[in-house]
Amino acid sequence: MTSFSAQNMLQGLWIGHNIGALLSYPLLTAMRRLQCQTELAGMIPLRYGSVTHCLKLMMNEEGIKGLYRGFAMHWIITNWTFSVGLLGPIYFSKNFYLLNID
């Protein structure tokens, strides 16, 4: 029987967070492109009708690279936020004994 440890829990949270970021990033990219298009002169013209239409065009014209353009910076920022927001209070709290950390 395996024992539960805080380290295993934090590793699982971190892995799950990264998988979620990897899977959701193309949707974030499509959302940004939909929000940036407009009918104003000099701006990005209306091109996409829906999220699925945007994803199809991105995949056909730019390939996988287009879906994940900018992902490295997103990954760095979200992991830093994850570390500070979740792990910081855990490691710097006065209640180490509640986490069973050696």
Calpha distance 16→78 (Å, rounded): 13
Residue 83 lies in a domain: yes
Q: Which domain does 80 fall in, by range?
A: 26-89
Residue 37 lies in a domain: yes
- For residue 1, name the pLDDT band (cuts at 50, 70, 90): very low
The mean pLDDT of 26-52, rounded to a whole number, is 88
What is the predicted pLDDT for the residue at 82?
Answer: 77
Residue 13 lies in a domain: no
Residue 72 lies in a domain: yes
> Are 59 and 66 within 8 A, CB to CB?
yes
Q: What total number of domains does the chain contain?
A: 1
What is the predicted pLDDT for the residue at 72?
Answer: 92
Residue 64 lies in a domain: yes
Q: What is the mean pLDDT of the chain?
A: 82
Calpha distance 66→22 (Å, rounded): 14
Residue 19 lies in a domain: no
**What is the pTM for the complete model shown?**
0.70
Calpha distance 54→42 (Å, rounded): 21
Residue 9 lies in a domain: no
Left (φ > 0), alpha (ψ -120 to 50) or beta: where does 42 sit? left
pLDDT at 36 over 50: yes
What is the predicted pLDDT for the residue at 22?
Answer: 92
Q: What phi, psi does 86 have (nearest 5°)?
A: -105, -50
What is the predicted pLDDT for the residue at 96?
Answer: 57
pLDDT at 87 over 50: yes
Residue 76 lies in a domain: yes
